[in-house]
A and B are shown apart, each in its own frame.
Chain A
Amino acid sequence: MNASMSQFLRVAWIVVKKDLTVEVRSREILYTTLFFSVSCVLVFAIAFVRQGRPLSDAAAGILWVAVQFSGTLALGRTFERERHTETLRALMLAPADRPAIYLGKLLGIFALLSVAEVILLPAVTLLFRAPLLARPLPMILLLVSGTIGFCAVGTLFAAMLARARSRDVLLPVLLYPMTIPVMIGGVMGTVALTQPEPQEALAWFWINLLVFWDVVFITLSMWTFDPLMTE
């Protein structure tokens, strides 16, 4: 590993550490996101579980909608805090690689959402009687690749929107249509895994597509982050 590469990773790690330190102190975003995602699932359970019987295949959709909703909440709140304390400007003024800053923010939000998913997964499994953990490896890979994909686009847009007018409304407006392939991949892969006869090959196809999507969109984001964040 050459010097510039290790410098790059060091900057990314510092950003992650800074975000996590702030979060561990206040736990504001973690608690609100967790509570929000669980209440989402509860609302869906009330709507879609009739006399103890959930709609067939509803669990997969609900899991991913909950991930998307709570992800939007976490993204909005993270950058709102940055904006409020003027730390985003400070970060941008720092003599550091912009793509490294992006990567750091991405990893921070990914870590946060992963914690939320650790709660979400058993909640959906219990409330919807879905065998989500019947095939743990592909299920976890689906969640990881899908969440990275969502965060990749979400981090870039939330960072750019931090300066724009009516950012609260615009974040979901921009993010939801853009992340549709992630949602399709995640939901379809999960549906394949929760069938009475799990179709693992199909799930692996979706994992591959999601990973490919992640690579393309993280590359694009790292490349555009610098010119996009320059004022």
Chain B
Amino acid sequence: MRKLFFPAVVVTTVMFIVVPILIVRAPYESTMGLVQKIFYFHVPGGMLLLLSPFVCGIASIRFLMTQSRQADRVALAAAELTVLFGVLTLLTGPLWARKAWGVWWEWDPRLTTSLLTWMMFVAYVLLRKYGGPGSEKLAAGLGIFGMANVPFVYKSVDVWRTLHPKTSVVPSLPPVMASVFWSAFVAFCFLYGLLLVTRVRLERQRDELERLYLELEG
């Protein structure tokens, strides 16, 4: 794992150099024009925002079943990254909407689902920070429930009207746009993976520190 960390940083760096150039060279969209370029980083961010709860939820299930500390660290890291990618998606989205729809915000399924998922994981992070000892179990419960809630939130808001471009836009992209989009997505995935590994390692070192302190006292 550690041997792969440094090459992964290099790959991510290269991707983050290449992808913006690709985005700049990608063709303009006919009705939305330049502003549609937000799509190339807004959508990958949004996809990770909705995938990350599943990383957190599955890690939480593993933690509850096996008591593995590592699984708990992964869950915490994934929750924190959900918050980060949520911030990115929720900030870039309105900028696009302002131009494309004329409003900053709309209570549309995808927007509302993203906002609520983000809120659930902000609650998770708050709990980890202020819950005190023993809160990691409660947090695991929250992670599992948060994951299970994502489809419900989506379905319930979906019955309201839909304004957001459908997810079917992604498979129907013209080849040039699709290649740019998928390279941006892969770049974001690499970034996510790197941040996750780094964050997990930070948590492991914190545990190590705590263990050493306990040893020193005991």
Chain A residues close to B by CB (< 8 Å): 153, 156-157, 160-161, 163-166, 169-170, 173-174, 177-178, 180-181, 184-185, 188, 205, 209, 213, 216-217, 220, 224, 227-228, 230-231
List 29 interface pairs A-B (beta carbons < 8 Å), by A numbering: A156-B141, A157-B138, A157-B142, A160-B137, A160-B138, A160-B141, A164-B127, A164-B132, A165-B130, A165-B133, A166-B130, A170-B127, A173-B127, A174-B123, A177-B116, A178-B120, A178-B123, A178-B145, A181-B155, A184-B157, A209-B152, A209-B155, A213-B152, A216-B148, A220-B144, A224-B144, A228-B64, A228-B138, A230-B137
Q: For residues 104 through 154 of chain B, which have their beta carbon under 8 Å from a beta carbon of chain A?
A: 116, 119-120, 123, 126-127, 130-135, 137-138, 140-142, 144-146, 148-149, 152-153
Closest 8 CB pairs of A and B: A165-B132, A177-B119, A181-B152, A160-B138, A184-B156, A227-B64, A181-B156, A177-B120
Min CB distance A194 to B, Å, is 17
Min CB distance B204 to A, Å, is 23
Query: B117's closest neighbor in chain A, by CB?
Result: A177
- Interface residues of B, CB < 8 Å — how many? 30
Interface assignment of B169: CB less than 8 Å from any CB of chain A:
no
CA A123 to CA B85, docked complex, whole Å: 44
Tally of contacts, chain A with chain B, CB under 8 A: 85
Whether A224 and B134, one on each chain, are in contact in the complex, defined by CB atoms closer than 8 angstroms, is: no
**Known A170-B126, A174-B127, A181-B149: A164·B135 in contact at CB below 8 Å:** yes
Chain B residues close to A by CB (< 8 Å): 64-65, 116, 119-120, 123, 126-127, 130-135, 137-138, 140-142, 144-146, 148-149, 152-153, 155-157, 159
CA A24 to CA B40, docked complex, whole Å: 61
CA A189 to CA B120, docked complex, whole Å: 24
Q: A181-B152, A188-B159 are in contact. List 8 more A-B contacts (CB 8 A).
A: A161-B138, A165-B133, A169-B130, A180-B116, A181-B153, A220-B148, A230-B137, A231-B134
B133 / chain A contacts, CB cutoff of 8 Å: 165
Min CB distance B119 to A, Å, is 4
CA A51 to CA B210, docked complex, whole Å: 63
CA A81 to CA B145, docked complex, whole Å: 26
B127 / chain A contacts, CB cutoff of 8 Å: 164, 170, 173-174
Whether A209 and B156, one on each chain, are in contact in the complex, defined by CB atoms closer than 8 angstroms, is: yes
A185 / chain B contacts, CB cutoff of 8 Å: 156
Central interface residue in A163, A166, A174, A181, by most chain B CB within 10 Å: A174
CA A178 to CA B120, docked complex, whole Å: 6
Query: B64's closest neighbor in chain A, by CB?
Result: A227
